[in-house]
């Protein structure tokens, strides 16, 4: 071929490649971005002024502001950020204080055992976080001479378990790096500020939001600005019923402007002067990557909560597990309970639990008992009669992706039990040792489902008296004292312990059907604490469930289905022919 033909073929092939290559996505128009320097500066100034006036007093903020040692400061922020992942601030505070008191430095944490870490983390959820935090602390001590990386890039690259958000938070708050952060609160704020209606969980949209966050972050106070943006999302720009009137940056919010225009249009319509309302969402670009899809137009009834928009979550999968509270008499005839350690990876890794076995859905009760009896026989080394297992109730616990039902049984063993060392770690514990062990909130609920367990010991009496005082109106609304655990997430667990306790101890009810009804934590709570129901008078009038008093007057047990919130549990035959 001549050179001209060769060049012609090359050009033809190049055109074909361009035709086959996917077109680059069109950049979003200016209304979705922060392109005006004056607006960016005003937004920074207004948000930081609000934060200085209104920020919450939190222990990790105090440490970040007062700790002179850079490595300790970075560690303190790091611990708080890991704990705050998927967990509310109110829950984290007490855990954080106890953690920093026990392990104030990276070196102290690196020397701790995983069992100690799990014990302190118990009840906080997402238990692998504590394990990864300790693994990373050991790496800093052993490989980095105890020196924390100072930039977001190095933090993410060198520390296992530290992602883009955590790295940005540590670097900006502890070391003053001008880098943005994007978490759930920031996503919500940015999507409303700029009417980002595309799926906010998609990687492409997340990348655009990171770009916005890096444009907005204040160069002189990056840590405070990032915390201010998150604080705004946590306290004002909340998912439902946001407090737009109190928002310090509402004048920069495209979603709020749309709401104001809708209100103006409605007002004008009353007087027959209505003009078309410009669609703030419609940026004129047919395939805008940040606009809402055409199938999901603006809903005036939702206001700013039209944003953000996420793809529908998959429903949690349902799982059933049979678990047995195995009891024996130990030294001085004190009761002891058998617990086993879960595998070192997977759900609830390394935590302790009562012997448990997964069940197939819709399994008959007789078969459930047989499978659990076989499982217990492997642990105890002796035959276990399925009929000897006493049914206690069902406990429901919701994990992020699992709707878990524990079918709870109990069994008392006589004589010594030889444990098989080839099986997973296991031990016998007293009640106090159980409460101090690294057990999940789910297992605490299982513990509370057995009234015999709940009434043993003076601590349980304290709990009963405390909860009684709450319902008498002499204490705070659901506040939890130290002996009930740490944080509001344990309220369900505490109540699931107390309600069966009252029944089993005879303090309030004596009707034989009550334990079955209160064996389910949420069913029992909704029934007893239902609005308008004066449960304190149940039993006091001598009738147990036969007579109770509501705001509407006396009612009988047959009328319980009319009590607001009452949900009858799954039907079960009670042990002992009751």
User: So which residues are the catalytic ones?
Assistant: 81
Distinct helix (H) and strand (E) counts, the chain: 22, 9
* Partner residues linked to 24 by β-bridges: none
Do residues 180 and 164 touch, judged by C-beta distance below 8 A? no
Which helix (H) or strand (E) is 115 found in, with range?
helix 114-121
Nearest to 403 by CA among 449, 357, 442: 442
Q: How far apart are CA 503 and CA 497, in angstroms?
A: 11
**Long-range contact set of residues 378-382: C-beta below 8 Å, sequence gap at least 24:** 378/420, 378/423, 379/326, 379/338, 379/340, 379/355, 379/419, 379/420, 379/423, 379/426, 380/326, 380/413, 380/417, 381/417, 381/418, 381/419, 381/420, 382/417
The CA-to-CA distance between both ends of the chain, in Å, stands at: 99
Contacts 24+ apart (CB under 8 A), 124-129: 124/83, 124/87, 124/91, 124/92, 124/95, 124/487, 125/86, 125/87, 125/441, 125/489, 126/85, 126/86, 126/87, 126/400, 127/348, 127/349, 127/350, 127/351, 127/440, 128/349, 129/82, 129/83, 129/85, 129/161
Dihedral angle over CA of 183, 184, 186, 191, nearest 10: 130
Q: Write out the two tokens for 283.
A: 């940026």
Convert 458-497 to b/e letters by CB count within 10 Å (16 or more is b): eebeebbebbbeeeeeeeeeeebeeebbbbebbebbbbbb
Chain center to CA of 130 = 15
> DSSP per residue over 269-301, as a string?
HHTT---PPP-SS--S-TT-SSSPPTTS---TT
Q: Are strands 352-353 and 356-359 parallel, antiparallel or unpaired?
A: unpaired
- Any idea how long the chain is? 578
What is the CA 558 to chain-centroid distance, rounded?
37
């Amino acid at each position: 071929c001549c050179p001209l033909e060769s060049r012609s073929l090359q050009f033809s092939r190049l055109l074909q490649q361009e035709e086959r290559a996917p077109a680059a996505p069109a950049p979003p128009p200016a209304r979705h971005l922060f392109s005006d320097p004056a607006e960016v500066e005003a937004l920074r100034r207004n948000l930081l002024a609000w934060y200085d006036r209104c920020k919450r007093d939190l222990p990790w903020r105090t440490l970040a502001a007062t700790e002179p040692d850079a490595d300790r400061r970075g560690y303190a922020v790091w611990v708080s950020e890991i704990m705050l992942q998927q967990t509310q601030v109110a829950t984290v505070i007490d855990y954080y204080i106890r953690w920093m008191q026990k392990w104030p430095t990276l070196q102290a944490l690196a020397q701790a055992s995983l069992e100690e870490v799990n014990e302190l983390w118990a009840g906080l959820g997402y238990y692998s976080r504590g394990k990864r935090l300790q693994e990373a602390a050991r790496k800093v001590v052993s490989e980095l001479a105890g020196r924390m990386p100072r930039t977001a890039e190095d933090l993410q690259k060198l520390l296992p378990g530290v992602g883009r958000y955590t790295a940005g938070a540590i670097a900006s708050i502890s070391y003053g790096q001008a880098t943005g952060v994007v978490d759930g609160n920031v996503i919500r704020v940015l999507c409303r500020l700029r009417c980002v209606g595309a799926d906010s969980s998609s990687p492409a949209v997340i990348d655009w939001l990171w770009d916005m966050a890096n444009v907005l972050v204040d160069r002189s106070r990056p840590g405070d600005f990032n915390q201010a943006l998150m604080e705004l999302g946590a306290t004002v720009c909340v998912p439902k019923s946001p407090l737009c009137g109190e928002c310090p940056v509402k004048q920069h919010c495209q979603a709020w402007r749309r709401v104001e225009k809708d209100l103006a249009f409605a007002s004008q319509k009353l007087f027959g002067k209505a003009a078309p309302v410009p669609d703030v969402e419609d940026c004129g670009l047919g395939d805008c990557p940040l606009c809402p899809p055409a199938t999901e137009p603006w809903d005036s009834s939702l206001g700013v909560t039209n944003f953000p928009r996420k793809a529908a979550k998959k429903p949690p999968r349902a799982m059933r597990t049979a678990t047995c509270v195995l009891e024996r008499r130990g030294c001085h005839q004190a009761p002891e309970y058998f617990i086993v350690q879960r595998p070192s990876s997977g759900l609830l890794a390394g935590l302790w639990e009562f012997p448990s076995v997964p069940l197939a859905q819709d399994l008959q009760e007789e078969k459930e008992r047989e499978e659990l009896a076989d499982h217990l026989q492997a642990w105890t080394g002796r035959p276990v009669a399925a009929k000897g297992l006493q049914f206690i109730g069902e406990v429901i616990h919701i994990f992020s992706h699992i709707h878990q039902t524990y079918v709870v049984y109990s069994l008392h063993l006589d004589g010594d039990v030889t444990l098989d060392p080839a099986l997973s770690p296991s031990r016998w514990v007293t009640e106090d040792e159980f409460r101090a062990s690294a057990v999940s909130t789910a297992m605490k609920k299982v513990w509370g489902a057995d009234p015999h367990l709940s009434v043993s010991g003076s601590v349980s009496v304290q709990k009963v008296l405390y909860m009684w005082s709450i319902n008498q109106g002499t204490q705070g609304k659901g506040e939890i004292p130290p002996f009930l655990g740490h944080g509001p997430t344990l309220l369900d667990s505490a109540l699931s312990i107390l309600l069966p306790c009252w029944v089993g101890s005879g303090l309030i009810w004596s009707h034989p059907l009550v334990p079955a009804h209160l064996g389910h934590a949420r069913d029992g709570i909704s029934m007893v604490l239902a609005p308008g129901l004066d449960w304190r008078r149940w039993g006091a009038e001598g009738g147990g469930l036969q007579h109770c008093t509501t705001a509407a007057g006396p009612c009988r047990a047959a009328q319980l289905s009319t009590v607001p919130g009452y949900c009858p549990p799954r039907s079960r035959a009670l042990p002992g022919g009751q």
